[in-house]
Structure 1
Amino acid sequence: MYKYDHYDQAMVDARVAEFADQVRRRISGELSEDQFKPLRLMNGLYLQLHAYMLRVAIPYGTLDSRQMHTLATIARKFDRGYGHFTTRQNIQYNWIKLEECADLLAELAKVEMHAIQTSGNCIRNISSDQYAGAAADEVADPRPWAELLRQWSTFHPEFSALPRKFKIAVIASDEDRAAMRLHDIGLQLVERDGQLGARVFVGGGMGRTPMIAPEINEFVGADDIISYVEACLRVYNRYGRRDNIYKARIKILVHELGADEYRRQVEEEYVHVKALGIDPPAAELARITAMFAPPAFVTPAQAGAAGDGRAESLTAPASAGATDELDLSDPDFRLWVQSNVKPHKQPGYAIANISLKPVGGIPGDASADQIDVMADLAERYSFDELRVTHAQNIVLPHVRKADLYALWQALDAADLASANLDLASDIIACPGLDYCSLANARSIPVAQKIAQRLAPRELEIGELKLKISGCINACGHHHAGHIGILGVDKKGTENYQLLLGGSGAEDVSLGKITGPGFDEDGIVDAVERVTDKYLQSREAGERFLDTYRRLGFAPFKEAIYG
């Protein structure tokens, strides 16, 4: 993973000192709240319903045990003993005291972390595939490119006051595990004629006006990616709406210009940008890429030579499934492996997913003790590396198959062994009206009730991406849910709209609102009726989304409303 050089550290330390002075002036009354607001937002600090909330950046979701332990320490020292992992691969703390915030940022700076550009009208945290560097289907590790984009975008003077917030995702496989086409810019690394480059998608997003990003360029060479992305931003910064917050995102500009005209303007701007020479020299790219070199994997032969009695579990070829050659006699372990463990490109290894969605729990939350446990397990079993996923879970990307059982036992002891990845109780949910000042309705209680209702049948139901947002801003990605729920205010009462048919994966689609909304208990009943209809109607091998697309909208609407 990327390690700070002295420039990185100096910038972060300077920002901490600057913000400490800003906080001091706010507390003393030298700054009003209106004057302080843009300053705190530049440092990821929001004023929510009950307290300040701090959003900490985890670039492309990658961190090590030292950083993870620091997140646990912050949860204990500055919050109420827990943190909330977000759909942007970050972490949020919901009970921050203003007078302690600068000290908190100083703690982060000691382990190469910060909260810069996690809010405001700037380029936010660059997101990526949580399986980067481990997945067999990627053409390259996308994280060096995500890191280049992070460095290029941090404190970029031209893009520090965009018309609206801006989100970029980078993936490197045909399977989209990062909802890439629902970003302002999505990059998919690809190979053409032996050369690495990227497909470029611009103008996606959720919120009030959800849109799927059209492809703007089918292949931009690797040496030109930064210049091309800058050209995309320049056109947006020049023409994006600043007079209407609801029409300020780049998706509106691309839609109103049309993809062809936007593409033409980007190509024209790219000629000028490329001449500036902003793309990194080969030596700099090589320096960054070297930090993402694969870990020192142990081969099956090496394990056997070392006298490892479990070496037989390391004999599966790279193309084999994650469960091959494992002792699955323990039924609970077998269930966890089948649900939460994915194939790795290295023989003898697997990708272990840790669900932060226990049935009845708060989606994405982890206690300080649990965060510490995950840090320890990463150091012991995963080459000291963890990933945060856009589905609000945690990944240990490089685990020996021979260690999976011991890993599972430790997770089980910490209440982190829920075997529900991509099942009905693995719900994405924003904090909603329990914390957020923008929310119209609560998300957490609805998620808890649905999980409890569907959990007894979730293995029968199979893959089901269920996503809940407490307002139109769509932090819970409800548009991209196989089943999506949007909480709205209806004459002072919380009301929940039900959407069907969304997907954030490579088969990207937007959910469709079924009809009139429901109260909190009614939406739980409606979701159950939808899953009942699916179970009655599915054909062999069909996911919920497959059955919905085959049958269409009408039969499900009939099942919901009668």
Structure 2
Amino acid sequence: MQSFRTEIENPIVEKDIIELANKIELFHNGKIDEEKFRSLRLARGVYGQRQEGVQMIRIKIPYGKLMSNQLRRISEVSDEYSRGRLHITTRQDIQIHYVDLDRTPELWSELEKDDVTLREACGNVVRNVTASETAGIDVNEPFDVSPYADALYKFFLRNPICQEMGRKFKVSFSSTDEDTGLSYLHDIGYIAKTENGVRGFKVLVAGGLGSQPRHAEVLYDFVETDKIIPIMEGVLRVFDRYGERKSRAKARMKFLLKDIGLEAFKELIAQEQKAIEFKSVVIDADAYVASKPVEVEVPEVTIKDQKAFELWKSTNLIPQKQEGYVAIGVKVLLGDFYTDKARLLADLVDNYAAGEVRLTLRQNIVIPFVKSELVPLFYTELEKLGFVEAGYNKAVDITACPGTDTCNLGIASSTGIAEELERVITAEYPQYLKNEDLVIKISGCMNACGQHNMANIGFQGMTVRTPDKLVAPALQVLLGGGNLGDGNGAFADKVVKVPSKRGPEALRRILNDFEANANGKQFVEYYKEKGEKYFYDFLNDLQDVTNLTQEDFIDWGEEEKYVKEIGIGECAGVVIDLIATLFLESEEKIENAKISFDDKVYSSAIYYAYTSLVNSAKALLLAENKKTNTHAGIISQFDELFVSSGKIDLGVTFSDLIYQINKFAPTQDFASKYIENANEFLQKVRTYRETQTNVLDKKAV
């Protein structure tokens, strides 16, 4: 094992980083199955890239709040281990690319010096907790959701109940009924509310995008703030046990709820209540350390272009509830900027604001706590960085995922077409610099990282095939999606599929018709009134692939002829493990259970033991060539194949043994007994496996 060392003071974090280094070495030496190693590194923010031999690193920025020292630290790491480019994601993370796998533990160690983590930024875990970028400053908010988002993020980080779920799990917080956190498309979404002066949240569950978008359902109209963590723990326990694990396409929570219904889902949550240690988790919002603006003299500055300054002020300033202050929206083209600008931005907010920036769901930056008198100064300084493009969060501000630039799943360019569409709007439709209604989003594939199917106008990367079998890059045009507020939203309809090079013409026709016929209506209402066929009719001719030119076979931003290349997706790939690896994992889980027990964290100890029991049962089922799916399915299958048949004697059914987890409170006595059960079960199934293997070996001889 390599002797990797860190300078991290937190022993839990240090153990995490050393474990990653050790697992990388075991992987290189052929001691860990490739699929299992993928699962481990993804949960540590290390994601395979389209380009062979390098990794994308996703850096977790909870609710998008980034302090200036953290921005500098990320810049240093990007310069040292990557290429100096930072990419803001639609989940308020930062990604860097082209990183050597062997250097990732060292990279992570450097980030942690300023409390920046990679843990659970990717993989089948609770992903980055997102929130409204104006949390704490929004003029309409009933209270600041930041302390609650922060507490929830910390509670579930490294929590054993959500480390190896069937798929990823996404959480959002919205500051107001405008639902700028987009709760309706999350696995669980919280919208800030007050009732009779008491703080709380509306809770929505099981929303999602992807190829089959689903609107979240209301779990509770109002719960007080001390209930949000226990509620999410119940939801996660149910998802972990009953969620699909075999079919990647059906493994999100939205499919579980669709299959069993909301009432059955609530009943399963109720069954977990005895296992949940904390029925109430009080979050001390007053103890949350909010950023404080600096006191500074207002320097005199000269504005060179007053007209440009006034336009920028009209589109990029955000009112702030703190008197005398505004926030500044910085439009970041496609979410990409470089470390030289990042460092200067960190200096600027340190010297003249509150030492923080917010990363937004539309891949932009917000600078809060700018004194109104300092706006001219910020404009002149941001202008030096190329950060004063007008149209923050307006129609010209298009969201796009990386697409075929770096993503394995990218089918067609999303960044190239996004740049071209922004150019078209700026040059031909300048009125949309100030239009907040029109939301345009682009994804390079059906997985909707660019959130195309919730946009007013969305584009999804695809391909078209000509009659003589030639393949060209294409765009599915989707229309009519939008955020309607208070947890309500509309998903866009797929209207036509056009060659990518015709994307700008499709946009022109849509905008021209909107201008002529909307009559003051917002786009969602205008689309609903006209209907899908109306748009199909005036876009249909753009689908014709019998008359393509050579240019149509070259994707946006490329020079070579298009070749469709799709790799294996990594966000939540199915893991089929080797039997020996599963048994070793069961041992590790029991060791983790004992550590948690010694630390008196009995609920965690019990859950580690539970995952060991499931893991051991899964190993034996796979050894018998049985398909394994949900945890609940594994448990019933094991009883049927091994216990009811008398092959293995447990003294009780496996169901009775393992489901003690939701029959008993997480006490010290029960934790001790349950860990012992898990250990005994592992020994029994191992012995059975060895006996069967020996019998087979003798028969072979």
TM-score normalised to the size of structure 2?
0.71
State the match for 2:403 in structure 1: 432
Report the identity percentage.
30
Partner of 1:149: 152
Q: Partner amino acid for 1:417? A: V
Equivalenced residues, count: 521
294, 305, 315: which one aligns with 1:339:
315
Q: Distance in 2 between matches of 1:157 and 1:218?
A: 29
More displaced stretch, 244-253 vs 487-496? 487-496
Structure having the higher Rg: 2
Contact 1:441–1:471 (CA under 8 A) maintained in structure 2: yes
Cα 1:13–1:495 shift into 2, 3 Å = same
**For each residue in 1:276-325, what CA deviation from the matched residue of structure 2 results, as whole angstroms up to 9, or x when unmatched?**
22543x4xx32x64233462587xxxx9xx8x699xxxxxxxxxxxxxxx
Instruction: Provide the residue aligned with 1:499 in structure 2.
Output: 478
Deviation at 1:556, TM superposition (A): 2.7
Equivalent residue number for residue 485 of structure 1? 459
Q: 8 Å contact 1:143–1:292 — kept in the other structure?
A: no
Q: Which of 469, 489, 500 is the aligned partner of 2:443?
A: 469
Match of 1:38, SS state, is helix
| Aligned residue runs from structure 1 range 157-172, under 5 A | 157-172=160-175
The residue aligned with 1:36 is 37
Pick closer, same or farther for the CA change 1:551–1:134 going to 2, 3 Å: same
2:536 is equivalent to residue 549 of structure 1: no
Alignment of 1:195-206 (within 5 A): 195-206=198-209
Match in the other structure for 1:322: none
Equivalent in 513, 519, 524 of residue 533 of structure 1? 513
Q: In the aligned structure 2, how far is the partner of 1:423 from the partner of 1:158?
A: 40
Contact 1:484/1:498 (<8 A) preserved: yes
Tell me the distance in 2 between the aligned counterparts of 1:378 and 1:406. Answer: 12
- Extract unaligned runs of 5+ from structure 1: 1-5, 311-326, 358-362
Matched, 1:349 2:330: no
Whether contact under 8 Å (1:336, 1:419) holds in the other structure is: yes
Cα shift readout 1:54-89 (whole Å, capped 9, x = no counterpart) = 101001111110000112112221111211110110
Measured in 1, the distance between the counterparts of 2:263 and 2:430 equals 45
Q: Does 1:413 align with 2:392?
A: no
Q: 2:189 aligns with which of 169, 186, 191?
A: 186
User: What is the DSSP-based 3-state SS (H/G/I as helix, E as strand, rest coil) of the residue aligned with 2:491?
Assistant: coil
Q: Residue 258 of structure 1 is aligned with which of 229, 243, 261?
A: 261
Q: Deviations over 1:486-513 (max 9, x none)?
A: 1124455322100001124525210001
Equivalent of 2:498, from 513, 518, 521?
518
Q: Give the superposition deviation at 1:153.
A: 1.0
Counterpart for residue 15 of structure 2:
14
Letter in 2 for 1:509: A
Superposition pairs of residues 262-411 of structure 1, within 5 angstroms: 262-266=265-269, 268-269=270-271, 271-272=273-274, 276-277=277-278, 279-280=280-281, 282=282, 285-286=283-284, 289-293=286-290, 295=292, 330-357=306-333, 363-411=334-382
CA deviations over 1:342-375 (Å, ceiling 9, x no partner): 1100111111111102xxxxx0111111211221
Compared CA separation, residues 107 and 297, structure 1 to 2 (3 A): closer
**8 Å CA contact retained: 1:82, 1:366:** yes
Alpha carbons of structure 1 residues 33 and 485: separation in structure 2 relative to 1, 3 Å: same
Amino acid of the residue matched to residue 271 of structure 2? Answer: E
- Which of 444, 455, 469 is the equivalent residue of 2:415? 444
Distance in 2 between residues matched to 1:455 and 1:339, nearest whole Å: 14
CA contact (8 A) 2:293 2:353 kept: no
RMSD: 2.4
Does structure 1 conserve the Cα–Cα contact (< 8 Å) formed by 2:362 and 2:393? no
Unpaired runs of 5+ in structure 2?
1-6, 466-470, 542-701
Measured in 2, the distance between the counterparts of 1:31 and 1:459 equals 56
- Tell me how far 1:238 sits from its aligned partner: 2.3
CA distance in 2, matches of 1:424, 1:221: 37
Please give the secondary structure, in 2, of the residue aligned with 1:518: strand
**Alignment partner of 1:55 is 2:61:** no
What is the DSSP-based 3-state SS (H/G/I as helix, E as strand, rest coil) of the residue aligned with 1:392?
A: coil
